Structures are given as structure tokens and as C-alpha cells.
Amino acid sequence: MEARIANYRGSNSLTYPNHILIEVDGVDTRAKAAALVGKKATWVAPGKKQTAITGKVASAHGNSGTIRVIFERGLPGQALGTPVKIE
């Protein structure tokens, strides 16, 4: 399932670098997003090394189908807007 990184999870004073908000293609309600909880997400870094960072879908975020993924380590800022694979 294809998706893209929307933003980091955060507030006015805190940012969680390994909590990422992801928009999934074809998921537009909270119920559809909740069905993805527990699935694995993988982000592959561009470049020669093709480093992969994996995470787990933790919960739905809001009512428009966005999901929150907790990655094993933080993603770089260049990852915003790039594709993620949900399995």
C-alpha cells in the first residue's frame, strides 16, 4: 500500500522525531485508518546505500484518514513528502 509522509507529530513546544504522520492513498476516514493499526511501515532513503527505516502503525490521527507511525529511529527532514510502503 502506497503512502507519503505528511509531517512529524508535535505541538507548539514539543516535536517527536520518530512519530510520523502519514497520508495513505485511498484512506479518507478514521475507520479505514484504524484498520491499518499494527501494520509495518518502511521508508527507504534515497541514494546509494538505500537504507531502510521500519516502523509500526500506532493509531489513526484525526478524522480524515491520516495515520501515526512510530519508527525505530527518527527520520531526517528530507523525508517529508517522500513515499512510504505500508505492509
- Residue 12 pLDDT class (50, 70, 90 cuts): very high
Beta bridge partners of 24: 3
Q: How far apart are CA 45 and CA 29, in angstroms?
A: 29
pTM confidence score? 0.91
Q: What is the architecture of the domain spanning 2-86?
A: Beta Barrel (2.40)
**pLDDT tens digits, residue range 13-37?**
998 989 999 999 999 999 999 999 9
Sign of CA dihedral 4, 53, 72, 2: positive
Give the DSSP H or E segment for 81.
Answer: none
Neighbours of 12 (CB within 10 A): 5
Domain extents in the chain: 2-86
Burial of 67 (0-12, 13-18, 19+ CB in 10 A): buried
Beta bridge partners of 61: 66
